[in-house]
Structure 1
Amino acid sequence: MKAALILVGTELLNGGMLDTNSLYIAEELNKYGIEIEFKITVRDFMDEILKTIDYAKKNVDLVIMSGGLGPTIDDITKEAIGKYLNKPLIVEDNELAELKEKFKKANINFIKINVKEVEKPQGAVSFKNDVGMAPAIYIDGIAAFPGVPRELYNMFPKFISWYSKEKKLLKDGIYIKDILTFGMAESLLDESIREFFTEDGIYYEFLVKNYGILIRLQSTESNKNKVEKIVEKIYNKIGVYIFGEDEDRLEKKVVQMVTDLGMNISTAESCTGGMIASRLVDVPGVSSVLKEGVVTYSNEAKIKRLGVKKETLEKYGAVSEETVREMVLGLDSDIAIATTGIAGPDGGTQEKPVGLVYIGIRVKDKVYVERKIFNGSRNKVRERAMLQSLFSLIKILKKGESNE
């Protein structure tokens, strides 16, 4: 089955807004074997939207639209769908009542223009919006969703589940297994695992995320055991680069492992400026293991807060193995992470180039130090240092578990 995406919004074309919805939609459709043939971004102009709908309808089975479902004058997606299909816009009493109740709970005045949020072409099916106002709709091969990402994420799974049943897309259920890796290039991953995929009906792909590279294995429920056997082979081949599966993330894995060990953790950050602690704080329940996070950016702070020796800083510099060792030793917790580096864009030398980062990790009395050079912008260097710190801790803790 073929699908097309129509992203509605002038702000998507003038640089005012970045499209992330199409990435999410593509991943979700992939689970149901629906291929996106093309996507088009269009301004909030009626004639342009109508032309785009017409082109899409003539070329694919399913048209998915995002944006233009709000109450303002430029929100004309549902009106365009109605015009194209020659269907009047209607309002169902129960949906209007539900919308008014949402406004009441949010302590927002409901005005006449807000009725527009529940207008829809006659005959359209609605999908409840649990996190926003306007529901999504579907009619005659066209689905429309709000442009707000969290609202799309809330309603799209409801829609695609309903649609797959209506169209009987799945004779056998889809089985997906995600393996999460860090520290190995996509090309090397492919070279390492392609030999395991010799049977028809079992596929794999790589998805580059901001936390690493995800290997997605996909087949049918009837092939689940075969997929799991391939997963086992992948672990045996590249297990050192794997940190989790499915909904795992680096920070979640760290918190889980520290919790399971009955330990606590602290961070002392220079170049990462609190990014590691911030990621850990994103995890619910982290308060039971996170003792403290300090940003010791200046030499004075490293000396005063962590007990780094002045002589160490003078002899080796703030960006050094010796300094980061003393930084982790200055934290009073079972596990400690410290970073110090040159994020750039200035400040580098031939001996210590921009992108140089030292990562220190202490588990009880044992200290580990890594020297890394990261490429990219200042923020990219800091982000990579943060991710590497978390991954390195996971590897160390895994190794410790295997030695017990």
Structure 2
Amino acid sequence: MKAILILVGTELLNGGMLDTNSIYMAEKLNSYGILIRYKMVVKDDIEEIKTAVNLAKKSGDLVIISGGLGPTIDDLTKQAIARYLDKKLIIDEEELIEIKNKFKQKNIKFLEDNKKEVEKVEGAVSFENKVGMASGMYISGIACFPGVPRELYDLFPRFLKWYSEKKKLEIDKVYIRNLLTYGIPESYLNNKLKRFFTNTNIDYEFLIKDYGIIIRLQSMESNKNLVEKIIKKIYNELGTNIFSSNNMKLEEVVLEMLRERKLTLSVAESCTGGMLSSKIVGVPGASKFYKEGLITYSNSSKEKRLGVNKKTLESYGAVSFEVAKEMVKGLSTDVGISITGVAGPDGGTKEKPVGLVYIGLKVKENVKVIKKVFKGSREEVRKKTVLCSLFYLKELLSEGSN
């Protein structure tokens, strides 16, 4: 079964509001095996909404509309559906009593305009809004819901349950597998893996995120075994460049490895200025394994807090292999990360350009220093450094478990 989403709201077109409803609805539709063919965004205009519905009805089995059900002059979805179907808008007396009682319970005066919230197209099935006022509505393969997210979250699951029972859907859930990777550019991933992506019953995607690249395979539950066979081939090809297959981010993976090994972590940051520490403490339960984060931005703090030798700083400079090594060795925990670099936009030289970063890593007696030169703005260099440090710590922790 194919669905088309129509998101109604001028604010979605002019940048006044971000669409999150379609993401939520997609997840719920996936669980019923209903695929979204495409989605449209239209402004608050009766003719625009009618045009969108007409196009959607030609292309899908179920048209789902979010937005435009409220009491104000820009809430026009029901009027558009009524005109499209050449039907009247009516008000059910029992539903009118119910909404008036809601207003009374909230000690809010009921206005004549609020009647719009219980209007429906003649012959439509209503769905009570348990957290707001405007009811949902279904008629002739068209389902309408409020645009307010918490109201949609209340109505949409109940509608899907009702719809699946009404249509006696044989549910073949959408099956999605995400592999999170680091260290291989998108074009290289494509070149390495495209020979595996030949089955037309499976959709393949590369999604670039700030924490790596996601390789996504999507099909139906009935094709699960085919998907898993391809996943196995991808693992054999990419190895440890895949850091997660269950949507765990790198910081979550690292902390889980620390938990399994009963190890604690501390970090010393210079150019990233606490960004790495912030990533780590963003993981629930991090306090059990994360002991300390030092921002040793100046040379004197590197000496005082980490015991970096003054002669090392004078001979090699703060941004150097030697200083990164002494920084990480100066951390008291068995596992540590140190970062020193030139984030820019100023401060670079021919020998030490903007983007040059040294990352010190240690797992007990095993100490390594990674040199990288990242491209991008100051913020981008810092973010890339944090991601890189977590990935290579994961690698070092994996070495210790072999």
Give the secondary structure class of the aligned counterpart of 2:283.
coil
State the alpha-carbon separation in 1 of the partners of residues 83 and 51 from structure 2: 11
SS in 2 for 1:88: strand
The one-letter amino acid paired with 1:185 is P
The separation in 1 between residues aligned to 2:216 and 2:44, in whole angstroms, is 36
**Deviation digits for residues 87-111 of structure 1 (CA, Å, limit 9, x no counterpart):** 335646667777988x7xxxxx755
Query: Which has the larger displacement, 210-219 or 196-205?
Result: 196-205
Give the number of aligned pairs: 393
1:333-348 pair list within 5 angstroms: 333-348=333-348
The Cα of 1:2 is off from its aligned counterpart by 4.4
- The 3-state SS of whatever aligns with 1:11 is helix
Q: 1:48 to 1:329 in 2, by over 3 A?
A: same
Q: Given residue 393 of structure 1, which amino acid in structure 2 is its aligned partner?
A: L
Report the counterpart of residue 372 of structure 1 in structure 2.
372
Whether contact under 8 Å (1:342, 1:348) holds in the other structure is yes
User: Alpha-carbon deviation of 1:359?
Assistant: 2.1
Distance 1:347 1:160 in 2: 58
TM-score, scaled to structure 2: 0.79
1:189 and 2:189 correspond:
yes
Which residue does 2:136 correspond to in 1?
137
More displaced, 179-188 or 85-94? 85-94
Q: Which residue of 2 aligns with 1:106?
A: none
Aligned to 1:88: 90
Listed one character per residue, the Cα deviations across residues 2-31 of structure 1 (whole Å, up to 9, x for unaligned) are: 443333333333333444554665576567
For 1:182 and 1:94, the matched residues in 2 are separated by: 54
Alignment CA distance shift 1:307-1:93 (3 Å): farther
DSSP-derived class of the 1:332 partner: coil
The reply on whether 1:319 has 2:323 as its aligned counterpart is no
The amino acid across from 1:302 in the alignment is: K
The AA in structure 1 aligned to 2:37 is: I
Work out the CA distance in 2 between the residues paired with 1:219 and 1:56.
23
Identity %: 52
How much does 1:337 deviate? 1.9
Q: Could you say which residue in structure 1 is the equivalent of 2:285? A: 285
State the partner residue of 2:233: 233
Q: Give CA-to-partner distance per residue, 1:27-66, whole Å, 9 cap, x none.
A: 76567352434x4333344554444444444554333334
Q: Is the 8 A contact 1:205 1:215 kept in 2?
A: yes
C-alpha distance 93-353 of structure 1, shift in aligned 2 (>3 A): farther
| Structure 1 unpaired stretches of 5+ | 104-108
- Are the aligned partners of 1:341 and 1:355 in contact in 2 as well (CA < 8 Å)? yes
In structure 2, C-alpha distance between the alignment counterparts of 1:282 and 1:267, rounded to whole Å: 15
Q: Relative to 1, partners in 2 of residues 1:201 and 1:6: Cα closer, same or farther, differing over 3 Å?
A: closer
RMSD: 3.8
Specify the alignment match of 2:350 in structure 1: 350
Task: State the partner residue of 1:213.
Answer: 213
Cα displacement (A) at 1:264: 1.4
Displacement of 1:167 in angstroms is 4.1
Q: Contact 1:120 / 1:137 at 8 angstroms: preserved in 2?
A: no
CA contact (8 A) 1:374 1:384 kept: yes
Distance change >3 Å, CA 226–CA 42, structure 1 → 2:
closer
- 2:361 alignment partner, SS class: strand
One-letter amino acid of the structure 2 residue matched with residue 374 of structure 1: F
The equivalent of 1:36 in structure 2 is 37
Write the deviation string for residues 221-250 of structure 1: whole angstroms up to 9, x where unpaired: 344334333322222221211111133222
Q: Does 1:386 align with 2:386?
A: yes
Query: Larger deviation: 217-226 or 278-287?
Result: 217-226
| Residue 395 of structure 1, CA deviation | 2.0
Q: Distance in 1 between matches of 2:66 and 2:368?
A: 48
SS of alignment partner, residue 322 of structure 1: helix
After superposition, the C-alpha distances for 1:133-190 in whole angstroms (9 at most, x for unaligned) are: 4678341333445556677677656655654554455454443322222222233223
Report Cα offsets for 1:312-364 as digits up to 9, x if no partner.
33333332222222222232223222222333333333322222222222212
**Aligned ranges 1:97-246 → 2 under 5 Å:** 110=108, 112=110, 119=118, 121=120, 123-126=124-127, 133=132, 137-140=136-139, 141-145=141-145, 147=147, 163-164=163-164, 166-167=166-167, 170=170, 172-197=172-197, 201-246=201-246
Paired with 1:280 and 1:264, the residues of 2 have a C-alpha distance of 12
Structure 2 residue ranges without an equivalent (≥5) = none
Partners of 2:11 and 2:295 in 1: how far apart?
A: 37
Q: Is the 8 A contact 2:181 2:242 kept in 1?
A: yes
Task: Single out whichever of 114-123 and 218-227 deviates more from structure 2.
Answer: 114-123
Letter in 2 for 1:65: I
2:135 and 2:353 map into 1 onto residues whose CA distance is 51
Relative to structure 1, is the Cα distance of residues 390 and 48 closer, same or farther in structure 2, using a 3 angstrom cutoff? Answer: same
Once the two structures are TM-superposed, the CA of residue 287 in structure 1 deviates from its matched residue by 1.9
Amino acid at match of 1:36: R
Comparing 84-93 and 363-372, the one that deviates more: 84-93
What does the per-residue CA deviation read over 1:111-142, in whole Å, with 9 as the maximum and x for residues that have no partner? Answer: 5479689646363453867xx74678341333
Q: Is the 8 A contact 2:96 2:115 kept in 1?
A: no
- Rounded Cα–Cα distance in structure 1 between residues aligned with 2:208 and 2:28: 16
Q: Distance in 2 between matches of 1:116 and 1:278?
A: 49
Change (3 A) 1:59 1:198: closer
- The 1:84–1:178 alpha-carbon spacing in structure 2 relative to 1, beyond 3 Å, is same
